[in-house]
Amino acid sequence: MDLLNLYIKTNIKTTKLIDITVYCRLKRAEGTQYWFTFINAYNPYEYLLVIKKYKNYLKESETNKKISHFGKLENIISSLVKHELELYTPIDKELVYLIGVGLNHEIPTEKLLEYKVNHYHKGYNLDGCPVCKGSWVTQHAIPLSCKHRVCIDCIFGIIKNNGTSCPICRKPFII
């Protein structure tokens, strides 16, 4: 269980998804906010996730997405919040959000969680080294400045052969 999942589990005091609102704001720009609320859909097996995006405290957009509510409440909420924050965060940025869980539209002011958006798991680089295909379970991952990861053996092999760039995107990592 990750930190966001644990935080949500300990801060929700209800079993109803429609009573919960998750508030997220950038740590360094509090006017940039995302509000996640849930409403009943026409189909009893689905809910709507309503995502409101604010920029400089003004509502910039509102999106509705149909979601399934089959599963543990904390798993549903944390996976949806993570997914949406990763969609809105540029890959080359590491932004820190403050996240709070409110009940019945009450905005939390205490017990906020610092959450750093992690793009490392996106795409093919999830299971192992993209060069040797070794599993991250047995290999030590070295993060490059471009956010790709290569195992320690492959990075030494690249450097030994006078390589200076990422084997995936070719962005230089040695200048």
Q: pLDDT tens digits for the chain (175 residues)?
A: 578 888 888 888 777 888 899 999 998 898 999 999 999 888 878 899 999 999 999 999 999 998 988 888 888 898 889 888 887 777 656 688 888 888 877 888 888 999 888 655 555 455 678 888 777 767 788 888 887 888 888 888 888 888 888 888 888 887 5
Q: Where are the domains of the chain?
A: 3-116, 120-175
How many Å is the Cα radius of gyration of the chain? 20
Closest listed residue to residue 92, CA positions, set 148, 131, 130: 148
Which two tokens mark 49? 């996730």
What is 120-175's CATH topology? Herpes Virus-1 (3.30.40)
Q: Is the pTM of the predicted complex or chain greater than 0.85?
A: no
